[in-house]
Amino acid sequence: LAQGWPALEALLAGVHLHGTAADACVATGQGPVGLTAGEIIDSARACLNRWIAHGR
């Protein structure tokens, strides 16, 4: 995702993606307690694809 980016920007992008993915899970009724890494990964992929589709 952030290969070649400056370390701080890569860190911030990862944190933002993780938080957005968790928020998306909660919005669909998953969690917030008991979310698994797999649920976050699936949600993160969907968020990233939405960002790419919208040019963000």
Confidence band for 56, pLDDT divided at 50, 70 and 90 = low
The more confidently predicted of residues 1 and 27 is: 27
| Average pLDDT of the segment spanning 12-31 | 93
Provide the percentage of residues in the chain whose pLDDT is more than 70: 98
CA atoms within 13 A on the CB side of 21: 21
- Contacts for 18-24 with beta carbons within 8 Å, 24 or more apart? 18/44, 20/44, 20/47, 21/46, 21/47
| Average pLDDT of the segment spanning 43-49 | 93
Measured CA to CA, the distance from residue 3 to residue 11 in angstroms comes to 11
Measured CA to CA, the distance from residue 13 to residue 16 in angstroms comes to 5
- pLDDT at 8 exceeding the cut of 90: yes
Q: Whole-model pTM?
A: 0.80
Choose among 55, 45, 37: nearest CA to 17: 45
